[in-house]
Structure 1
Amino acid sequence: MKALFDSIKIYPKLIVTFLIVLTPLFLLSLVMNQYGSSNIKKEITQSMQSKVHFYNSNLENEFTRTIKLMREFAGYEDLDLLSNRTEIMSYYDQRVAIRNLQKELSVLKNSSNYILEASVHIPAINRTISDDNFGTIPIDEFEALNVVTNIFESPFIYWRDRLFISLPYPIKSNRVSPEFVVEIEISIDLLRNALLQFTDHTTGNTMLVNSEKGWKITGNDNGDIVNEIALIDGSNSDVQGPHSVTIDGQHYLVALEKSNVLGTTLIMYEREQSVLGPLRQYTIWFWMISGLTVIVIVVVSYSVYRLIHQPLKNLVRAFRKVEQGNLNVTFDYQGRDEFQYLYTQFNAMVQNLQQMIYEVYEQKFRVQHAELKQLQSQINPHFLYNSLFILYRLAKKNGDENQIRFTKYLSDYFQFITRNSNHEVTLAEEAQHAKNYVEIQMFRFAHHIEVKFEELPPSCAPIMVPRLILQPIVENAYKHGLEHKESGGKLRVSFELLENSVLIAVEDNGELVGEATIQSLQRRLNDNNVSQETTGLINVHRRLVFRFGPNYGITLSRGNSGGFKVTFRLPAETTTHLSERN
């Protein structure tokens, strides 16, 4: 993912970076918008449910009070007289009783705004009495209303698009003719107007449904919508509280409440688009602002890209010219931003490169001049070991074995140290040079120094090492440990092959060396201060560390015979020449 991001150019990177930074804010805003919308929707549906509960309670209270007045009216003495004792009443008494009933019926009618007519049917006199009328009983209406109902659970009777509450007295059976029937006709128009006022929005409606008896009264007649909602919610006893329904692709919020007192269900519904329209508008604005934000990000990114890209483009072109060897590139930047610093440093870098190139050429010339001088100085060493070779031929001609050996060792020694074409030699060559040095010293110290120079393991012979690392240590042992020892001197050079390393030990039995001296010398070896005095040990140790790493080099210790012991640690496998590594 990181490699992919690094391969993208600056402009897309800027856009992606801005989007990464703003995405959490966008997501947070989206969550807050959704959370606010859901809360507002919840508040609206709860408000609808509260309205339904309030209006349903009002209807229950209104019609319960009406039913109580009907029951009180059924107990009037004049009604009992007209129903059961008209034969003993005079015409005048009957008229007085009828007028009294009409007054009571007028009071009953005016007790509620929903009552259209209040009347009583008396079969004994075959008359129907209302507040303003007195006539013969309509047979079909009387038969429709002479129904025993649970007046406190389902009081309404829907007949011929008219709504009634009837109270047959006494309540015995539908097969027994009652003494009278008290009738209240509910004004459907007034009830419809009231239901219409329950809903604030023109896209909504309120209806009173009795699913058992199959009638409904609606505020607005919206045709199929009313029928479907009434069918879905009015007949479904499991539906509780506010919910949503979908009809013909339109979503509606529906709130309902069943009345156990009236046996009806009050249903209120609103089209979601009308109720939640402002919320959807906010959502649309949110997405429009989000889209505008993306456009702004693209524009701002492009502006930043233009501000950065052109100076960078000029800088890249200048670097390419420098790569091609043109060091005459300079900038004259007039801006006061960070690129002024970059351009200034670029000009300084080009000048420094020119200066360094001049110095490198000069140094190379001086090195070549020094090499020429060195080649000239090698004339004398070559003349020396050529003369030694002539001496060797003369000694061999005379048959003096010691002279032969000595001149041979001396010739090989000077030939090795004057050969400087290679900085590294094999360990076998380095060991042989040290052994030649020991053989030369044997002519001088043959009677009082015993030398044990062990054979190099064959597997270690091809290991490449810096030149002149072993002979200086052997020379150091002669010079500081054994030179003043008149007898009993011992020198031992040993080789040990480990799993990943080769150990070379040079040990003598010279003067006793204390631990403090050894530790002091070891600290000097480990000191990286280049300004300190460089001895043979330090020089060899630094060359080994530089060549093989800090895990290799020289360690110092006291030998088994009390003298000085120098141990080399070299890698077990290294055949790469230093010049090849460089």
Structure 2
Amino acid sequence: MINPGAPQLYDNSCGACAFISCMMKAYNHEEPKGADAMNFRIRNWRHKSLRFKLISSVLLMTLPLVGMLLYNNFYAIHTVRGQVAESYENLLKLYMGQIDDGLNDADAYIRTLIDSGYDVISLGTAATDTDYYSAKVYLFNKLNKDISLHNTINSFFVYVDNRQEYMSVTRNNDFALEEMDSIEHQMIDMIHSRPIPKGSASKRWIYTQIGQDNFLFTYVQANNVYVGAWVKTNHLLKPLSTLQIGEGGAVLLSNNQGKPITAANIVDEYEIELHSNHNDYYLSGSTEKFLVSGASSKRGEFNLVALIPDDYILAKLPYLQSIVWFITVASILFIPIGLYSMKQTLLVPFFKVLLTMKKVREGDWSSRVVLEKTSDEFMLLGEAFNSMMSEIERLRINVYEEQLNKQREELQRLQLQANPHFFLNTLNIVYNLAKVKNYELVLEMTMSLIHYFRFMFRSNTSLVKLKDELEHTRNYLKIQSLRFHGQLTWTIDAPEYVTDTPIPPLIIQSFVENSIKYAVTMDEPTHISVEIDFLDEETDSQIKICIKDTGSGFSEQVLRELKAGRSVQNELGEQTGIWNVERRLRLMYGDNVTIQYFNDELGSGGATVAIILPADPSKEEET
């Protein structure tokens, strides 16, 4: 059997091999061992490699310049946006102040009319129709005259609740009769359903929608008479229609919940987010970005918002942006072009040599460096390496064959070790049986002994079929049953489909022998069981052999030594048969074999040995 781990045994026995290993370790900066060593090597290779240093040098020269250009570009954009936003914000605050002043004047006029106007009081307290209509005509003429002084609003209205009469005065009769009827019904419903705005300093103007139009209105109550005013939101935005806002931009009103009152189609189309307050400008929009700036009203729950397209703002920086982006793109393109040229002339041949060295270290001793169209220095290095590898391969073959011969000799020596005590005890049993003239048992004992030693003397092969190993174990147990008459029972359970599986010889019998040696006593009966089956029945990838006894089990010290993989000696300083078996299995399978030792704490408390072997050793040999 070829040991899969054999190359590791002669890896450092050749001076040239040691030279390659040292080169690779120096390149990888090996310090830790195992899995941590691999991670350590990868990290150091990345940070200390020639590739990393060259790329870092190029990036250190170009990235700061590109970063400064990009920073300058974004700073200029941010500055322009800030200046534009500040300009529009000041303009909106100025106009919002004018709107608030106009709404405040209208609100003050209504309150003055309620507090000192005798005709308003007369409407609610008139005893006769003559007095009522006289006061109504007087109030209508007064409102019609005074509305020209309030350019911010569209209409004054008076509603007498006990007579359910509504009277309004509009500027220049700008509204159709049907629209005025809708407004009248809406105002009456709002008076009945909404509370009266309180306090002179509060936001008394309320937003409402009538049909497809939006309105702001307020009113004051004096007994059963309500006097108020309303304005259409489009009327408030008319002075801003000449504001240069850019194509696609808009000036609109929004409520304090961030919902648009006017120009809702633009907000919905571009998914623009409107804030409840407008302390600072911001960018918003999905398919197109808008700079959002605004001002809040002090007299109503609404905001004046300007949506300026970002393209309109940045259109003032075309030349600067073009230069910055050209330099940035040119720099970004130069980096990969320069790195590619450096890679082709320097790094590619260098890493070809390193890759070949890694393949050799992993066991591919036939690898050679192939370099074409490169510098003379790399060609010389490749030729020298290939010549050295040819010499290494010749030396390796000799060392490999010598090591295999040593392993075969050790396997044969371990397999042929016989226990002289067993042989003498068996002859003693035959002698006693012949002495009492129990010839049938003598024949049976002799035949079992013949089969036993026939198997022992032919078992210098690497593998035997499982059924032959089990038959040998049965012969051994039959012999021991005669020795420990009535004190030893045994069972062997192995399905028929596993009996042709090849395993190393004397594996099961050695563990059974160990159980008899340390578990069987004359005090109480002992049972030994052998159970065998595939560990994975779908793929037949591994076979599990389990040997149990009902004795006292492993001691804590022995169990600790066995689990640590150390040899266990008896009182006479002799190594136990377990060490023999484990040594042979490790030589044949390397790390692909698993041996478990434990005591059956839930059952009899006896010792249990579980062996897991590859079901197809030929694959292990190929590996």
- Give the TM-score taking structure 2 as reference length: 0.38
Greater C-alpha Rg: 1
Question: Relative CO higher for 1 or 2, CA cutoff 8 Å, sep ≥ 6?
Answer: 2
- Give the TM-score taking structure 1 as reference length: 0.40
